[in-house]
Structure 1
């Protein structure tokens, strides 16, 4: 009974989100509440929700303060000198331009927002591509790859996976550092190959007689009145310190970003009115994601405490050979990128991942490894080509290309990155083969 109710709950949740019948926030709260009431749990449902929300609170706090922190420093102009440097170094060499595009996207995506990454990187680099006649699909591809492999403790997929599995984002991320570096090296290797191919296609720089492109403007990331160029070094050192404290696990990640946000505000905008204005400017995206994460906590709390998740896992265990749980992370890693074309992040991480993790655990695997396998592709390398995410349409719109052209060109490279990182995870011992 519970297994059937749980399966129906997840199917309805997926259908509601994928068919856009309701927002993820409404679906994550409304669907499990109705299921719990139909299951006869009555007012106990409220307690289940509170328990789930309590477990998710640190993750929601991490995302809120990460958004505020990076937004404040972007307003202060932290990234602008770095963007200008990349544009100057790229010059008119196609290979340098393509590699610079990847480097810039990797840097800008440190805030965890794919939309911000594309809005900054593509307008900054597109004039160089147009001036030299480079294929704009290449810009879309390397930008998507750089953002896709750059999953971090505060990015959406990591936070969702941590929330669904009730673990710290750092527990998921820290073992994947070597795997992520492998993916980043692949991105730059691909950028070099694509850049050289473009150079050959346009007849090479020497043959064209092109002069170094030094006048292409960098994207303005902030209002000039908000920039604090004299504090660039201080802001950079502060960011390095926040990263070091967080990754070393000296304090909880949410604490690192909370304190970092306070210091960033006091250094760059000491006037209380300015501080309030900067918080207000970035409150909307922070609030929206925090609301989604808290709703997800209510969903996982109901699914777990009603026993639906346990019953579904038990039913699945009976259909899978004993010992196969150890191979589930590897298989999921290989499939994770294509799954982005089928599931949006909320429906996968909050509806599908907990079931797979529980099944793997009962069959001798580790739930943490399942979450790590999902991060190798599901809405990481997969999000810039998925029609289920607005960021995909942002990429093709900014580059001025068709979605189908972008997908045909970019999917093979993103899939290769995901598969490579899966095998790297095996070599690094993150999960067994």
Structure 2
């Protein structure tokens, strides 16, 4: 019964947001409450929802201050030289711009943090996309696809969870999967090429006056915000923040709060200017952070009612014994929908040990199951339960459902390529 309720809740939720009957934020709050009532959990809705909200609170606060920090860096002109360099290389050709976007997103994704990737990539490329008429949705799709592949890095989260859940080392799980990651990267570049060609066919190759594009938004309205004399200081501050994030010197939430405080004080010491800058980003920050907390209600009820456990057990127990020898491949395939419909914590700490235990009965090494569990991750970032993706669509001004409709098939393509590489190179047994 719980499994059926869980599957129905997910299906109805997806239908509502993809048909635009409800906004993602409203659906995240209303749908789980309705199904919790149907399941007889009325008296427990409050505690479950609060538990979910508490679990996402650090992420929501981190995103809030990440928006403010990178917003200050953008206003001060930190990314203008990067954009100028990209412009000189890609010209006005949508194909080169799309591929350049993919390369930039892949490189920035090395820090393992989707929020940072989106903030920098979108800030650098969105003005160019708008200038030549390329769809911002293409920019968002390339960024999320690149981040989805690079999400396998050990410091990105899922790999560390898999290692912890199965008590294995990086050499057991991550190192063997590197060739699959390379396959995923090549697919993302191929995807960018295809999307670029489609955009080139639609709008042609633009002629751009590079003297006017060398500094983004260097108009009379925003020129006073630029801080060219502080650019080295701002670069140093940004690099130090990224290094601290990678090395986990402090929790990411605290680092972004401190980074923002330093950035706004250095660049805009006047209190009136500080208030103006915060107000300028308040709209975007509010829409994104409110979505994060709405997702907390969804995950809290999904986990608190044990629907997520029932769904996982239903799937595992319905795998035919005859397919037991192919359990690694089955795990790789299941990892895409499982990580899409549930949080990484729920999948890697709750479901993965069950999969590994079931596979051991067929003589399959738990390390192979751990590696297989990572191969569906490109699909994960398009899940409505991933907070950073709301930041992405908010920055480009697009609808979450539109992003899913347009790029779920590409995300599945990335996962398929990674699985095929893993099978061909016997990273996982067939």
TM-score tier by shorter-chain length is 0.5 to 0.7
* Cα deviation code 1:344-369 (max 9, x no counterpart): x9xx4459996798554422279987
Q: CA deviation at 1:59?
A: 1.6
Question: How much has 1:224 moved relative to structure 2?
Answer: 0.7
Contact between 1:231 and 1:268, CA under 8 Å: does it hold in 2? yes
Rate the CA distance shift 1:119–1:413 in 2: closer, same or farther, 3 A. same
- Verify: 1:112 aligned to 2:118, yes or no: yes
Counterparts of 1:412 and 1:298 in 2: how far apart (Å)? 28
1:309-356 Cα offsets, whole Å, 9 max, x none, are: 2222222222014666643453257x68xx9xxxxx9xx445999679
Distance in 1 between residues matched to 2:184 and 2:312, nearest whole Å: 32
Unaligned ranges ≥5, structure 2: 109-114, 165-172, 197-207, 358-365, 384-391
d(CA) in 2 for partners of 1:250, 1:428:
37
Contact kept? 1:102, 1:143, Cα under 8 Å: no
TM-aligned CA deviation for residue 296 of structure 1: 1.5
Q: Which residue of 1 aligns with 2:83?
A: 83
Taking the TM superposition and a 5 Å limit, the aligned residue runs for 1:184-223 are: 215=211, 217-218=213-214, 220-221=216-217, 223=222
Matched, 1:291 2:297: no
- Contact kept, 8 Å, 1:115 with 1:394, in 2: the verdict is no
The whole-number CA distance in structure 2 between the counterparts of 1:65 and 1:302 is 27
SS of 1:112 mapped into structure 2: helix
Aligned twin of 2:279: 280
Q: 2:63 matched to 1:66?
A: no
Provide the C-alpha distance between the structure 2 equivalents of 1:9 and 1:315, rounded to a whole number of angstroms: 15
Q: Cα deviations across residues 34-56 of structure 1 (Å, max 9, x unaligned)?
A: 22222222222101111111111
**Residue number in structure 1 paired with 2:227:** 228
The CA deviation string for residues 6-37 of structure 1, in whole angstroms up to 9 with x for no partner, is 22222222222222221122211111112222
> 1:150 and 2:147 equivalent?
yes
Change (3 A) 1:325 1:237: farther
Match of 2:387 in 1: none
Which runs of structure 2 are paired with 1:165-184 in the superposition (5 Å)? Answer: none
Q: Deviations over 1:369-401 (max 9, x none)?
A: 7884443245569xxxxxxx9799989xxxxxx
Mapped pair 1:10 → 2:31: no
Q: Aligned pair in 2 of structure 1 residues 24, 267: CA closer, same or farther (>3 Å)?
A: same
- Hey, what's the Cα distance between the residues in 1 that align with 2:85 and 2:287? 34
Matched, 1:38 2:38: yes
Distance 2:372 2:92 in 1: 44
Corresponding residue of 1:376: 378
CA distance, structure 1, for counterparts of residue 92 and residue 16 of structure 2 = 49
Q: 1:259 Cα deviation (Å)?
A: 1.2
Give, in angstroms, the shift of residue 412 of structure 1.
Answer: 9.9
> Structure 1 residues 314, 375: closer, same or farther in 2, change over 3 A?
closer
1:362 to 340, 344, 354: 354
Query: What TM-score do you get using the length of structure 2 for normalisation?
Result: 0.66
Work out the CA distance in 2 between the residues paired with 1:62 and 1:427. 40
Deviation at 1:77, TM superposition (A): 0.5
TM-score of the two chains, using structure 1 as the length reference: 0.65
Contact 2:53/2:296 (8 A) holds in 1: yes
C-alpha distance in 2 between matches for 1:193 and 1:14: 27
The verdict on how the C-alpha distance between 1:371 and 1:236 changes in structure 2, with shifts beyond 3 A counting, is farther
Distance in 1 between residues matched to 2:232 and 2:116, nearest whole Å: 17
2: distance between equivalents of 1:432 and 1:62?
39
Separation (CA, whole Å) in 2 of partners of 1:411 and 1:37 = 31
- CA distance in 2 between partners of 1:25 and 1:60 (Å): 14
Cα distance in 2 between the residues matched to 1:351 and 1:291: 18
Moved more, 349-358 or 254-263: 349-358
Q: Equivalent residue of 2:42, what SS?
A: coil
How far, CA to CA, are the matches of 1:325 and 1:55 in structure 2? 32
Task: Work out which of the residue numbers 122, 129, 134 in structure 1 matches 2:129.
Answer: 122
Q: Count matched residues.
A: 378
- What SS class does the counterpart of residue 364 from structure 1 fall into? helix
Contact 1:265–1:275 (8 Å) recurs in 2: yes
User: Shift of residue 181 of structure 1?
Assistant: 7.1
- The offset of 1:230, in angstroms, is 1.0
Greater shift, 82-91 or 289-298, is seen at 82-91
Return the offset for 1:116: 4.6
- Alpha-carbon RMSD: 5.4
- Contact 2:148–2:380 under 8 Å retained in 1: no
Corresponding residue SS for 2:378: coil
CA contact 1:357–1:370 (8 Å) conserved in 2: no
